[in-house]
Structure 1
Amino acid sequence: MPENASPPRYRHGEPCWADVQTRDVEAAKDFYRAVFGWRFQDMPTPDGRSYAQAYLDDDLVAVVAPQNPHQESLGAEAQWNIYFAADDARAVAGETPSAGGAVQFGPEEVADTGVMVFVDPPGGGTTGVWQAGTHTGTGRYNQPGALSWAELLTPEPQAAVGFFQQLFGHEVTEYPQDDGGTYTTLMVNGAEVAGVAAAEEAATWQIYFGVADVADTVRKAVAAGAQVLIGPETVEADDDEAEAAGATATLKDPQGGVFSLLEV
């Protein structure tokens, strides 16, 4: 995984941002404030509602946004989205069909903050693409309370890896798993930036936020209304000593948004 860093501008193909779309922004703010200690600044939307920028000190680390009308009409659960940095979001959108994927939204200019696209890899797993303007991405990475890792769980992992390689030029490292499968990491300039793994169910991104103590954070989250889906579990390093490299857990927030914790 990437080393702790707060780069002013993320490189092409690096995860750079995460936000959650939810039906009750105020309730979500209360929950994530209790879990991560985020403070919020409310911002208006064109339709008269508001979204909330989440900060750690003065660093913008996430956004809690209202669901769009289509999501609301379906009664959809909250959803965390991951975004990959792109030098040219329009070029990524143009290349998506030939890479075996589909453009779901955009490209759209978001005022002067950047250009946004959503694409589907083969097998699913809607992925945000962000060309930075004034907003370059999360102000902290792989630190407590900030985006720390993302992995795509998909029924078509090989096709998905090829898709990201074509769009972003990722190199890859493959790790054999005990179940006979393979965990693949996408790499930028020799650093692992995201993972891809096989899953039998519908494709989804698993988004991790760093915490100092997974068990303690799980307790806070449960007290605030979260459901524990997985964990806490210890992650072991891939070496002869198998030293503990941290712990993880996966939770569902009170409105259905699934996210994971990673001890950093």
Structure 2
Amino acid sequence: MSLETAVGHIVWHDLLTRDVAIARRFYADLLGWEYQIEHAANFVWRPGEADYPLIFANGEAHGGFVELEQDLSRYWVAYVQVNDVDAVTVKAASLGATIIREPFDTPGVGRSSVIQDGQGAIICLNVPTHNFPAPKGSFLWEELITNDVEAAKHFYSELLGWTPQDIDTNQGASYAVMKCADGAIATGITNQAFDAVESPIWIPYLATNDIDATLAKARAIGGKVRAEANMPNGDRKAILADPTGAIFGLLESGEFRT
């Protein structure tokens, strides 16, 4: 998938934290990530210049780490590609979202804005101008975990043109996959494991070939397992907190690989 055909898809991730060194070491030890330091002239999250560690896995850039100076919650945030950041940001506000940061340009990266949906989950809108291909194979899947699946389905359908398809989980939880205009599955929205995350949040699921071994290693190096469950197709997943407190998932599966 090229960036030209990625509208409606998640194309980047950042980890926001005050503990970049701890986070870098944890994910390198857990998943073998490597890093390349870039110098950013203007972050999505704060103005000014700073170093930006890029995440490299399997020879591709997948995201980065953002060092926050203020005491904000640590969390992963996804960037969804849109056709027009400014227009979609205005639409988000009309649908009840809070605009955390109005549209702005980052040289060599793209145009972005940061929004918080009506339930409190944060996501970035983005039109990239960088040369990195849309990443694949490491960030396998994205889920919005929320206590109001119907409201979330409506908001993101109206905002991004995603089409919801309800899935029977046979587990007493609501689950919908959200499809892009090209028919590809973009994300999931669910109330499954909401008690493990406590508030609405977008989380990335990272690839593992052996979820049991990876969970054991995560525990050994400071991660905390919040929940384990199955995807609607039966593939195993887990939700964890890294040592900085950021929530992420692990997925042992092939269905949602890009």
TM-score normalised by L of structure 1: 0.83
Q: Structure 2 CA distance, aligned partners of 1:124 and 1:258?
A: 15
In the other structure, the counterpart of 2:204 is 207
The answer (yes or no) to whether the contact 2:14–2:64 under 8 Å persists in 1 is yes
The answer (yes or no) to whether the contact 2:11–2:135 under 8 Å persists in 1 is no
In the other structure, the counterpart of 1:184 is 176
Q: Structure 2 CA distance, aligned partners of 1:136 and 1:186?
A: 25
Corresponding residue SS for 2:24: helix
RMSD after superposition: 2.2
In the other structure, the counterpart of 2:44 is none
In the other structure, the counterpart of 1:66 is 67
Q: Which runs of 5 or more structure 2 residues have no equivalent in the other structure?
A: 42-47, 254-258
Q: What is the letter of the counterpart of residue 6 of structure 2?
A: R
Q: What is the letter of the counterpart of residue 201 of structure 2?
A: T
Q: Structure 1 CA distance, aligned partners of 2:173 and 2:34?
A: 41
Q: Which runs of 5 or more structure 1 residues have no equivalent in the other structure?
A: 1-5, 238-244
Does residue 100 of structure 2 align to residue 111 of structure 1? no
Q: Structure 1 CA distance, aligned partners of 2:37 and 2:212?
A: 30
In the other structure, the counterpart of 1:29 is 24
Corresponding residue SS for 2:235: strand
Change (3 A) 1:259 1:159: same
Q: Deviations over 1:205-243 (max 9, x none)?
A: 122111111112112222221111123x44462xxxxxx
Choose from 85, 88, 98 the match for 1:89.
Answer: 85
The count of residues paired between Structure 1 and Structure 2 equals: 242
- 1:1-264 equivalent positions in 2, closer than 5 A: 6-46=1-41, 47=48, 49-67=50-68, 69=69, 72=70, 74=71, 76-135=72-131, 138-140=134-136, 143=137, 146-178=138-170, 181-188=173-180, 189-198=182-191, 199=194, 201-231=198-228, 233-235=229-231, 237=233, 245-264=234-253
TM-score normalised by L of structure 2: 0.85
Q: Structure 1 CA distance, aligned partners of 2:20 and 2:162?
A: 35
Change (3 A) 1:115 1:48: closer
Corresponding residue SS for 1:229: strand
